[in-house]
Amino acid sequence: MADTNLYAVTALFRTPDQIIAAAKGVKEAGYTRYDVHTPYPVHGMDKAMGLPETKLGFVTLAAGIMGAVGMISFASWVAAVDYPQVIGGKPYWSWPAFVPVTYEIAVLLAVLLTVGAMIAFFFKFPNISHPLHDTPYMKAVSSDAYGVAVRADDPKFDEKEVRDLLKRLGGEVSPVEFSEEFRTFRPRLFEPRFLLLLAGVALVSAGGGYVTWNKLMFMPPFDWMMMQPKAKPQTVSTFYADGFGMRLPVSGTVARGFTLYPYTITDRADSVGALMVNPLVPTATVLSRGKQKYLTYCSPCHGNAGRGDSRMNGQFPNPPTLHSDKVRQWPDGALFHVMTVGQNVMPSYQYQISREDRWAVVHYVRTLQRALNAQESDLQ
């Protein structure tokens, strides 16, 4: 390293065969810190430079496996554990449906992490400048020439020897020095032009997104998906004689799983309640189902523990506590009756909570009552 200001000695070549030979020559002369620049990928260059197999493939493989395992676990958890729904009559854990998204996330993550790893490890991010930038050498190798640059910090570097070698290989030799600009250049994150660019990109993408999803999608031809020849709810139908888009069930039919409830709000809860028996056994599953429905539908007014002390307290007529002697001595059916048809200002919940779930809520309310009125014997 004779001259500290010298970055590299470069040489330009005119044909791909010359550059392959030059790369071989430089490698065989024992240099290690050199690079080849070509306007397009030259086949056989890796071998000529003696480059080892890239390790990037392992990043891709690891990222792909991560993406696949992560996505199939996520999809399984969502569909089978956290939010189980019956779709198309299939089991909750219907793995074939997860395959496309698993495949796509695996590819996506593999691509993103490969590019990310390339930028972070191989391009030495956040270093965005390089002494070869803005040199005549770089201009030439990005248009019509092929170049070799042997760096001055190579352990074997000797300027005269390198010049001789490159000349012998048939190149037009020229040294590249660190420019003053490169020496003093510090990337500044808060440069006004950069911030302005960021703001511009944000504005354009937000505006573009808004116009696309809120306006464009409702204009022809993109609204064709919405213009289907089908009866929509709450609209006039030209197809049915009576003009209604919504249809009533055929008279005398009952939906599957649905049982007609024979009593009304005018029936007394305790008397009709005595006529019904809870069909469910209070297992852990039933209780947790009851708890889920109770917390969703009942607790906003009745409170989490059934004391009638919810956050709605004072804004509505307060519901009485569920722990009164009257309610505790009601038969199960009476609770079910009140939930089904309503009472005073409480509306009917038969359309929100299914019949089975209402019976599960009854069990849960019983559990709450027992918990707040525990007896000596419960401790044993």
Q: Which residues bind other proteins (CB under 8 A)?
A: 17, 20-21, 43-44, 46-47, 53, 57, 61, 88-90, 96-97, 99-100
Q: Which residues, 6+ apart, have CB-to-CB distance to 316 below 8 Å? A: 301, 345
Per-residue DSSP letter, 85: -
Q: In terms of CB distance, is 90 or 168 closer to other proteins?
A: 90
Q: In terms of CB distance, is 61 or 295 closer to other proteins?
A: 61
Q: In terms of CB distance, is 29 or 97 closer to other proteins?
A: 97
Minimal distance, residue 285 CB to other proteins, in Å = 28
Minimal distance, residue 34 CB to other proteins, in Å = 20
CA 337 – CA 334 distance, rounded (Å):
5
The SS3 assignment for 189 reads coil
Minimal distance, residue 44 CB to other proteins, in Å = 4
CA 35 – CA 152 distance, rounded (Å):
12
In contact, 7 and 153? CB cutoff 8 Å: no
Minimal distance, residue 268 CB to other proteins, in Å = 48
Report how far apart, in Å, the C-alpha atoms of 76 and of each of 90, 289, 366 are: 14, 21, 34
CA 309 – CA 340 distance, rounded (Å):
22
Q: In terms of CB distance, is 17 or 181 closer to other proteins?
A: 17
Q: In terms of CB distance, is 20 or 145 closer to other proteins?
A: 20
CA 217 – CA 225 distance, rounded (Å):
10
Q: Which residues, 6+ apart, have CB-to-CB distance to 162 below 8 Å? A: 9, 31, 150
Minimal distance, residue 72 CB to other proteins, in Å = 14
Q: In terms of CB distance, is 58 or 222 closer to other proteins?
A: 58
Minimal distance, residue 17 CB to other proteins, in Å = 5
